[in-house]
Amino acid sequence: MDIGVSSYSLLKALKSNELTVDGMFEWIKENEGTHVEIVPHGFEVSLDTASEIYQQAQKAGLEISNYAIGANFAVEDEDQYRTEIERVKKHVDIANALGAKHMRHDAASRTGGTITTFINDLDRIADACREITEYATTYGIVTSIENHGLYLQGSDRVIALIDRVNHPNFRLTLDVGNFVCADEDTYIAVKKCLPYASMVHIKDFYVREEADKLQDGWIQTSGGKRIRGSIIGQGDLPIKKILHNILESNYDSWLSIEFEGMENSQYGTAVGLQYVDAIINKEVR
């Protein structure tokens, strides 16, 4: 199974100019990654730069596995809704220029959104996702949402949207860590969602109870717990058990390391990649 790295893992190194974009690709290859997922933070990604980024990745011996952007179709204004759909379609053009055959976009975000608002939003969100994935099929690009952003993070909501879109080209970028943000059992949620996955992010978190008033990088889950990104395999999520589940499933696409810890980004990403590779490809169980 091919293991690579999300460029978001190395955001701190990119922002500090410790790594250039082509240097990032070379670093991933040196650390035995086989592909890179492009997230447009820390460097410019546009139709003007996509060809150069593609060539740099090719020179380093990496495939560009996925292109990931934000989006929000849970809006009331019709002009804003149409503008957002057309904006995401332009990013499909960029994904094609990058040589990526997978593209992940967000679909909905609402502050204080409830299950009732989600049910009311569902058809409108699904219509937007369907229109975009139909456009992407002209390039042979599979589109997906991610379990991300609280409003559309729980496994049932993610599956409900994919089922409502009801298009074979519309799938899931499955982030194994993000379910904890919605206080969901990560192992069970991953198992439920694997049949829908076209891409898998491997991520780990430290988890603490609500009473622990922690600062410095800790964020609050929907239920009030505190979580913070960790090196993969060193946090509190059952990552080894989840990886075994992936091995035992029919999933055979990309795995992408997504490091969000406070450690040096190159160190944290490399250690996480080695841990996942040891389980997935070297079968250390």
- Residue by residue, pLDDT tens for the chain (285 residues) are 899 999 999 999 999 999 999 999 999 999 999 999 999 999 999 999 999 999 999 999 999 999 999 999 999 999 999 999 999 999 999 999 999 999 999 999 998 889 999 999 999 999 999 999 999 999 999 999 999 988 999 999 999 999 999 999 999 999 999 999 999 999 999 999 999 999 999 999 999 987 666 777 888 898 889 999 999 999 999 999 999 999 999 899 999 999 999 999 999 999 999 999 999 987 644
The encoded tokens of residue 78 equal 């019709």
What pLDDT shows up at residue 6? 98
> Does any domain span residue 171?
yes
> Does any domain span residue 123?
yes
> Does any domain span residue 169?
yes
Domain hosting residue 214, numbered range: 3-280
What pLDDT shows up at residue 284? 44
DSSP the chain: --EEEEGGGGHHHHHTTSS-HHHHHHHHHHTT--EEEE--SSS--SHHHHHHHHHHHHHHT-EEEEEEE------S-HHHHHHHHHHHHHHHHHHHHHT-SEEEE-----TT--HHHHHHHHHHHHHHHHHHHHHHHTTTPEEEEES-SSTT-SHHHHHHHHHHH--TTEEEEEETTGGGGGT--HHHHHHHHGGGEEEEEE-EEEEE-TT----SS-EE-TTS-EEEEE-TTSSSS-HHHHHHHHHHSS--SEEEE----SS-HHHHHHHHHHHHHHHHTS---
First to last CA, the chain: 16
Split into its structural domains, the chain has a count of 1
> Does any domain span residue 89?
yes
> Does any domain span residue 285?
no
pTM check: above 0.75: yes
Residue 224 sits in a domain whose CATH number is: 3.20.20.150
